[in-house]
Chain A
Amino acid sequence: MRIFFILLKKEIKEMLTIPLIVSLVAVLFVFYMIGSVVGKQNKTSAARNNVVVLDFDKSGLSKRIIKSLTDGEYIVKDASSGNLLDAFSNHEYEEESFFMVIPKGLERDFNLEKKHTIEIYARFNKNLSGYSSSYSASKIRKGIERINKDLGVHIIEKKFPLANVEFIKNPVLMEEFVVIGDSIARVSVKRVLLFVHSQTYFFPIAVFFLVFMAAQMIMTAVAGEKENKTLETLLSSPIDRRILVISKLSAAAIVAALLSGGYMFGMRSFMSGIMGQKTAGIALSAQDAFVKLGLIMGPADYLMIGVSLLFCILCALVIALILGVLSEDVKSVGATMTPLMMLIMISYLLPMFIDIGRASFVVKLLLYSIPFTHAFIAPQNILAHNHAAVMWGIVYQAVIFAIFVTIAGKIFSGEALLTFKLRFGKSK
């Protein structure tokens, strides 16, 4: 035990290098910065609910259209004094991206029941990227829907003065229910999806980062010991070789946990920056429904996800340890790591794009046989009340871990450690 802590201390010192800490801080800073900048910009574009209107009809109907927009919390700017090109070039409307032209004769045609056109101009600000462009698009679509609906009501009011307009507007009331397992709750599907998304969004990214960092650290550490021959020194010393293996695994797990903690923190501020308080508000109002649906995870659920994650990391670490032992030196770690990285990538990316439950047998077999998959999909399974799947995943991961620890033990007790070299590319 004493030796274990001596080794652990040494390993952590070796792994927690200044470049590593600097890179973590840099990543956190980038996340924080992107989060806050995006958050700020979204707030300003949300606030800019502006429409520049050129009303050439100047009729009761056009007034009604404008009112319909202002009722919809749009800020209407009147530019009817000039033509459209004037409005575009006007400094006052430099920042505006939403222009509406109400042509002359709209009311007249409307009364004759002849279709007429209102023109909408969406102006892009120099580049076509960014969140605000798609945001403007949905804003414009909503504005048009609003006007059409309002004009429909206007027609009904005119033709059937006695009609119950409110009823005609929404003759049937929709009630949405969501069913998860045995639980049913009255809540919109959209809200549930948003909530589930927000709950499961960080997780795979953090797991991926964590596993990657841990694997890389342990591989570099082992390959470094091999390159420096410090491994030979340790192997000829009275240290129990199992303790050598365990201390390396533990140190990498501890350092990786620290890093992932920092990473999760960065991600959280990043995401909350992007989403703002909007999502939080939605989540709050639907809280009861989520509780009813069992979507609010309890301590036991978190524990299960944690255990699954732990075994995922342990599996990755022990595989990385073996790969590290087989690589010739620190420089070749990148290449030797490829097989492990491929497995992690598959189990990270594939479940994001396909529904594992409906995938073909081969794909299912592939995904479930990679131990990491079980950790990546643990939160979804928990939210879907599929605890058994998580349990079996943990059992499977534990079995894989035990197998690889045995292999690692075998390698460390033999001499393959010193004589075996995994080479990529041409051998000398």
Chain B
Amino acid sequence: MSKVCNILPMSAVNVLNLVKKYKDFEAVKGLSFDIKEREIFALVGPNGVGKSTTLKMLSTILSPTGGSVEIFGLDIVKDSKEIRKIISYLPEEAGAYKTLTGYEYLRFMASIFFRDKKQVLKTVEYGAEICGLKDKLKDKVKTYSKGMTRKLLLSRAVMIKPRFAILDEPTSGLDILNSFEIRKIIKQLAKDGMTVLLSSHNMFEIEFLSDRLGIMNNGKLLACGAPRDLKEKFSTNDLEEVFIKLIQ
């Protein structure tokens, strides 16, 4: 196996030779990378290369077929219960409970993580603030547009201020302004101490947001590094070109 990413012992997240097989199809074929604390790490790659599969394994909802993942020193198989307390996962193309209002949804999710009523209230207030839905929060989720739902879900994922946030295409479906807002929020949260793993198809977003990125194809990591370093390596000043050169 070629070593595309250096694994540092001090990392917040360590992924080593991760493999996932669906029945007879191998979606992830020996993935290794690490994420440092407070870092925003992005996984990019064409459709169907195993980004979401990787994210789901790190979220403890799929079990790996091989390899290992450690999140803050906890093993995703053995210590999945402990890990679930410190992570937050935003699935791609997700919805919320249609019969609840946006506000009720935030409160429901907050009360899963916190016992204390005051803390729940504070969390919901924070979530309501970052989603920017204002009065619409009093409406049922089923009346929301795609982008509104996405904003609600993203705020839900980060409002609990998890140590490690796993965001699968966080800004997909959002307009330019909202994407911009959300990116700013993610960046701020990382500064405040949150470690982030996200996937995206938007190179501009990745360049703005991520400290490092990994480019995936066919379940494997092709390159890994800071946007600047990758551009330098491929002697171009466009990240998209790096991507195209690698995939072709």
CB <8 Å contact, A239 and B112: yes
A6–B92 CA distance with the chains assembled, in angstroms: 25
Which one of A229, A230, A415 lies within 8 Å of B62 (CB-CB)?
A415
CB <8 Å contact, B61 and A418: yes
CB <8 Å contact, B112 and A238: yes
The size bracket of the interface on A is 20 to 34
How far does the Cβ of B153 sit from chain A's closest Cβ, in whole Å? 8
CB <8 Å contact, B95 and A10: no
B222 lies within 8 A of chain A by Cβ: no
Known A-B contacts A10-B108, A229-B91; the reply to A237 vs B113 at CB < 8 A is yes
* Segment touching A, from B7-15, B35-43, B80-88, B177-185: B80-88
Chain A residues within 8 Å of B91, by CB: 229, 232-233
A228 lies within 8 A of chain B by Cβ: yes
A237–B97 CA distance with the chains assembled, in angstroms: 16
How far does the Cβ of A394 sit from chain B's closest Cβ, in whole Å? 35
Across the interface, name the chain B residue whose C-beta is closest to A240. B81
CB <8 Å contact, A233 and B97: no
A239–B81 CA distance with the chains assembled, in angstroms: 9
A360 lies within 8 A of chain B by Cβ: no
CB <8 Å contact, A228 and B89: no
CB <8 Å contact, B94 and A418: no
CB <8 Å contact, A237 and B99: no
A230–B61 CA distance with the chains assembled, in angstroms: 12
CB <8 Å contact, A415 and B61: yes
Chain A residues within 8 Å of B111, by CB: 2, 6
A129 lies within 8 A of chain B by Cβ: no
How far does the Cβ of A417 sit from chain B's closest Cβ, in whole Å? 8
Known A-B contacts A13-B99, A235-B61; the reply to A230 vs B94 at CB < 8 A is yes
A418–B88 CA distance with the chains assembled, in angstroms: 18
A170 lies within 8 A of chain B by Cβ: no
CB <8 Å contact, B108 and A238: no
A233–B60 CA distance with the chains assembled, in angstroms: 11
CB <8 Å contact, A232 and B84: no
CB <8 Å contact, B94 and A17: no
How far does the Cβ of A78 sit from chain B's closest Cβ, in whole Å? 69
Chain A residues within 8 Å of B156, by CB: 233
B218 lies within 8 A of chain A by Cβ: no
A390–B94 CA distance with the chains assembled, in angstroms: 47
How far does the Cβ of B63 sit from chain A's closest Cβ, in whole Å? 5
A23 lies within 8 A of chain B by Cβ: no
Chain B residues within 8 Å of A239, by CB: 112
CB <8 Å contact, A414 and B63: yes
Excluding A228-B94, A237-B109, A237-B113, 18 further A-B contacts by CB distance (< 8 Å) are: A2-B111, A6-B111, A14-B100, A224-B98, A229-B94, A229-B95, A230-B97, A232-B94, A233-B89, A233-B90, A233-B94, A233-B156, A234-B112, A235-B61, A236-B59, A238-B81, A414-B63, A418-B56
Q: Which residues of A contact B (CB under 8 A)?
A: 2-3, 6, 10, 13-14, 17, 224, 227-230, 232-239, 414-415, 418-419
